[in-house]
A and B are shown apart, each in its own frame.
Chain A
Amino acid sequence: MEDSKTLYIDYGKCIGCETCEYVCRFVHDMPRIHMIRTATGFMAPLYCRHCAEPNCAKVCKRGAIVRDRDGAMVLDPMLCRGCQSRQCMLACPYMAIFETDKGVTVVKCDLCAARRQRGLEPACAAMCPCGAIEYVDRATAESLPDEAAKAAEQRVLDFVKPPKTKPGE
């Protein structure tokens, strides 16, 4: 688990160019990384952190989201029933599970499982023109963010979970 890898996006370096989402679409047909645009016009991709304690897996009654050998949290379409309640989507603190019109109707990142089989890294990390996406071990991912990255990430998290404003504010 400790030496397993995950994705880390430095939102401070990201320029919102959409390359990650489009490359993901090219590789997987239905992208598992998804651009948002906040009310202030800031564009950034939402992505799965392959959490150490994943809420998505915790709430799924079918046990359809499991950790694979490399540490990625993978949705198994054989087990997923595409239930209407969408517990996994609601449980993810990073809004990293998406609804689609296809198959089991939810998609999430599997760290490019088929590519990993061939010894390749996730496609988005390879192609981000800014080098904002890193495929690194967990400890490194935790040590990477600087002040600018944290401030930028806060803007994304405020989009995911808008801060409560007091009435009249």
Chain B
Amino acid sequence: MEPMNFNFQCGDPPPPSGLSLGIVGAGPSGLAAAGYLSCLGHAVEVYDKMPKPGGLMLFGIPGHRIPRQRIEAGTLRMARQYGVVFHTHTKICCSAPLFEEEGDHFCTEVKGLGEMITKHEAIMIATGSWRSRKLGIPGEDLPGVCSGLEFLFPIRAAHYCAPGVKAPDVGGKKVVVIGAGHSAVDVAHGAAALGAASVDMLYRRTRAEAPCGRLEIERLEAAGVVWHEGCLPKAVLGETAATGIVCQQGGLERGFEADLVVAAIGEVATPPFAKELGLESVRKGEVRWLNMTAIENVFVAGDALTGPSKIGKAIYSGLRAARSLAQWLDLKAQNRQTEFTGDELISREAERFPGGDFRDAPRVRGR
């Protein structure tokens, strides 16, 4: 299979620009930005806390959906042909203490943001969205309750022989999965495939409203998963470990037995230095320069900025931020960057892309 071509914007590598750029996070957004910027001849260094570049494309989404070799070959190509340097096992510190997000136990090196800013002409934060959302109900801290990423991540990471990472042991257990998004579907399939005695999936709305779609639910049912809708979790039961969960369904309380409860209800972004970088204002579009943070030479892209989205949106965000960064570098080289602050580009883009969907999306006939 051909490698994914992150350098799709150029053919042969261009002559070096002499500028060094750093990218934090090697998920789809960071890799797309690395491809764009290395196509301009910049010396790009990518930092990631995981043992391999790829982000959730490798460590979140199961391998039968995304071929791992295509991603790996793509990053290797970027390194060999375009000189992009990958620093893996390296975490850029830290809005959250170490060992709080999935994947932290892989890091062997921690670097500060200050070090990055002085080392590179500009940097881009593309750290994704990895902290799992909590259920906010009694009992959720009991052993036997985990998040979607906590469940899925070891299955993928076990491939990389990290000490202490084992695929979850669900053989013969009763598993309850909460949620109906992509990760919930992946968890339910994973649990069924790993030999769970039963897999019940609980969702607070109806089948028609499930973000994963009806077809996916039918596929899960074919794999033996039992679907329950209109089910709002109230409490996890158990003394020393989870033994079940109580839900409200159609005004009635209903209990499910469970040895393992997986809450796959989404993730929240935890980019390093969210406050210092003023990310809240960047999200609202109150910026001097597209995708620029409160620190002039620090840009941000992907799920770190938008919250959980999809690969396509993350790539687009990475490409746009990279283009914006490159434009800023050009003007800075001429000492003209102040002329263009409050650039109309920002408001124009904010108009078109208010977050989520485009106002000017093309339409198909009759719809």
Contact = CB atoms under 8 A, between A and B. Distances in A.
Interface of A: 15, 17-23, 25-26, 30-32, 34, 36-43, 46, 86, 89-90, 95, 97-102, 107, 118-120, 123, 126-131, 155
Given A17-B311, A127-B4, A36 B65 contact: no
Contacts of A97: 365
B316 A15 contact: no
A130 B362 contact: no
B4 A129 contact: yes
Interface in B8-30: 8, 11, 28
B310 interface: yes
A17 B313 CA distance: 8
A71 B360 CA distance: 30
Nearest to B7: A126
Contacts of B217: 41
Closest 5 CB pairs of A and B: A41-B213, A18-B312, A98-B362, A126-B8, A22-B316
A151 B312 CA distance: 24
A15 to B, nearest CB: 5
B315 interface: yes
Contacts of A36: 364
A128 B241 CA distance: 43
25 contacts: A17-B311, A18-B310, A19-B311, A22-B315, A23-B319, A36-B364, A37-B213, A40-B215, A41-B217, A42-B215, A43-B213, A46-B364, A98-B364, A100-B362, A107-B362, A120-B8, A126-B5, A127-B6, A127-B32, A129-B4, A129-B28, A129-B57, A130-B67, A131-B67, A131-B70
B246 interface: no
A15 B315 contact: no
B312 A22 contact: yes
Contacts of B364: 34, 36, 46, 95, 98-99
Contact of A99 (B210, B218, B363): B363
Interface in B177-219: 210, 212-218
A155 B320 CA distance: 33
Contacts of A21: 312
Contacts of B363: 98-100
B310 A17 contact: yes
Interface of B: 1-2, 4-6, 8, 11, 28, 32, 57, 61, 65-67, 70-71, 210, 212-218, 310-313, 315-316, 319-320, 358, 360-365
A133 B360 CA distance: 25
A130 B215 contact: no
Contact of A39 (B57, B214, B313, B320): B214
A21 B70 CA distance: 19
Nearest to B61: A15
Contacts of B315: 19, 22-23, 127
Contacts of B313: 18, 22
Contacts of B361: 31, 34
A98 B312 CA distance: 20
Nearest to B217: A41
A26 B319 contact: yes
Given A19-B312, A25-B316, A41-B217, 4 more contacts: A18-B311, A41-B214, A95-B365, A127-B32
A64 B340 CA distance: 40
